[in-house]
Chains A and B, each alone.
Chain A
Amino acid sequence: GAVVSQHPSRVICKSGTSVKIECRSLDFQATTMFWYRQFPKKSLMLMATSNEGSKATYEQGVEKDKFLINHASLTLSTLTVTSAHPEDSSFYICSAQTWSSPLHFGNGTRLTVT
């Protein structure tokens, strides 16, 4: 079955630094990739939708300059949390999709900002 690899699975960084999270579709070309964040005791919140070769579409309330998304190829999207602060600590998860297929999720990244 389709596999999406997300890396790293856990990262701890200091406040003010930037962190990059990678999302790769290993055995298929993803026309669209999505980035989510999970707040405690809540469901997944869609942050942005990323199409290969074009700018990401951000959801309302998500800061574009803080959460930089790059989708350079059909198999790779990256999320960079810039100038991270403790309130950015969260579980971030990506998903990838081909046309009319279900979403294939990565295993998520637990970010802790100290």
Chain B
Amino acid sequence: ILNVEQSPQSLHVQEGDSTNFTCSFPSSNFYALHWYRWETAKSPEALFVMTLNGDEKKKGRISATLNTKEGYSYLYIKGSQPEDSATYLCASYNNNDMRFGAGTRLTVKP
């Protein structure tokens, strides 16, 4: 059974602050790591799909890194804005199994 963990569970930052959070996942039989931005009762939005150790991806002010050997990924948000407030989910694919983490709930205060 996969165990995907995200930390912190919630995060409150001021507008303009940069922030980051972690997704840890099993490194065995790893295939891919996905990051999603999710506002409750809406459809999650795909941010990144990462497969290779050392991968770094960037989309605007959001970037992510991947370490498949130790089983973790960081998501960074530079200069947070109130519209960045959402839950950020990661999902790990290992073999044919896929699991979501519980998410990090980010609140950006104006």
Query: A residues within 8 Å of B by Cβ?
Result: 4, 34, 38, 42-44, 46, 49, 60, 91, 93, 95, 100-108, 110
Chain B residues packing against A (C-beta within 8 Å): 1, 32, 34, 36, 38, 40-44, 46, 49, 51, 87, 89, 91, 98-103
In the assembled complex, the Cα of A20 lies from the Cα of B86 at a distance in Å of 30
Using A91-B41, A103-B46, A107-B42 as known contacts, say yes or no to A43 and B89 having CB atoms under 8 A apart: yes
Known: A43-B101, A43-B102. A105 touches B32 (CB 8 A): no
Q: Is the CB of B46 within 8 A of A104?
A: yes
Given contacts A46-B98, A100-B32, contact A93 B87 (CB under 8 A): no
A43 vs B87: C-alpha distance in the bound complex, in angstroms?
Answer: 9
Known: A42-B102, A44-B89. A103 touches B41 (CB 8 A): no
**B91, A103: Cβ atoms closer than 8 Å:** yes
Question: Measured between C-beta atoms, what is the minimum distance from B47 to chain A in Å?
Answer: 8
User: How many residue pairs at the A-B interface have CB separations less than 8 Å?
Assistant: 45
B100 near A106 with CB under 8 A, answer no
Point out the residue from B42, B49, B51, B98 that lies within 8 Å of A49, measured CB to CB: B98
B residues less than 8 Å from A101 (CB atoms): 49
Nearest Cβ distance between residue B24 and chain A, in whole angstroms? Answer: 15
Q: Is the CB of B100 within 8 A of A44?
A: yes
Q: Complex: how many Å from CA A43 to CA B34?
A: 15
Contact B34 A103 (CB under 8 A): yes
Query: Are B43 and A105 neighbours in the complex by a CB distance under 8 Å?
Result: yes
Residues of B within 8 A of A104 (CB): 46
B35 to A, closest residue via Cβ: A102
Contact present for B99 and A107 (CB under 8 Å): no
**Complex CA distance for A100 and B49, rounded to whole angstroms:** 9
Cα separation A100 to B51 with both chains bound (whole Å): 9
